[in-house]
Amino acid sequence: MMTASDLLWLVGFPAAMAAVLAGVLLMRLGRGWSRRRVILTASVPLPLLGALLCVGVFASAMLASPERCGVDACGMAMAFAIFGLAYAAGAFLLGAAAAGIVYSLGRR
């Protein structure tokens, strides 16, 4: 069974690695960009996709008819979506930290 920390590493680690790679690429391409713009552009895309998926799951479960939900399927889907949004926020923060470190090391 997966624990919360396992799931955070499963979600956060790829987001951090994508942010590092995007940060390196953006440092090469966007020479005149500010630190904030590089970090946000590098760390937003992957967590944003996960957050949009969670919002879609939450909206689908909230708008589903009682016959379609069964015993507690919609409640569990909405709980998953809320936890998924929290993990997407954590992945964004981890990616922003990783991109910030890459930016700081690259500008020396």
Check residue 49 and give its pLDDT.
Answer: 82
Domains contained in the chain, number: 1
- pLDDT value for 50: 83
pLDDT at residue 101 in the model: 83
Q: Is the pLDDT of residue 1 over 50?
A: no
- pTM for the whole structure: 0.70
Asked if residue 45 belongs to a domain, the reply is yes
The answer, yes or no, to whether residue 29 has pLDDT greater than 70, is yes
User: Please, which pLDDT band fits residue 82 given cuts at 50, 70 and 90?
Assistant: very high
Is residue 1 a part of any domain in this protein? no
Tokens of 52: 């949009």
* pLDDT classification of 92: cutoffs 50, 70, 90: confident
User: In this structure, is residue 2 part of a structural domain?
Assistant: no
**Which residue type does 42 have?**
A
Domain-located, residue 48: yes
DSSP string, 80-105: HHHHHHHHHHHHHHHHHHHHHHHHHH
Instruction: Residue 33: give the domain boundaries.
Output: 9-106
- 95 contact partners, CB below 8 Å, separation of at least 6: 12, 15, 16, 18, 19, 42, 43, 44, 46, 47
